[in-house]
Amino acid sequence: MSNFFILLMGFFIVVANVIGYILYKKKQNLYSGAFAILLSAGLFGGMGGILALFVIRDPFAIFYGLQVGYFLLINSAIAFIIAIIVTVIKRYNNQTA
């Protein structure tokens, strides 16, 4: 049963990143992609918690959803940091050129 939830967590993380990448390609803005990952952290965290609650039938299963949300929050923080670094590098290159 734990392998199922680990795979589901990986699936949620991959789907959130794909959604962020699609938004980045659509708007050509790294910040919108990172923000989409941040919003999907709450969505997928809630979905994971509800799904675990129905599968395990234990009130403490909701913490699984919180764990998925936590990993996606870390993921979105990394995406925001990368966006900030890319912005700083682009502005530095534009000033020196």
% of the chain with per-residue pLDDT over 90:
39
DSSP the chain: -HHHHHHHHHHHHHHHHHHHHHHHHHHT-HHHHHHHHHHHHHHHHHHHHHHHHHHH--GGGHHHHHHHHHHHHHHHHHHHHHHHHHHHHHHHHHHH-
Mark residue 91 as left, alpha or beta (left: phi above 0; alpha: psi -120 to 50; beta: remaining).
Answer: alpha
pLDDT digits (tens, 9 = 90+) for 62-97: 888 788 888 889 998 998 999 899 999 999 999 886
Give residue 97's pLDDT: 67
Give residue 45's pLDDT: 87
Joined together, the tokens standing for residue 12 give 């949620």
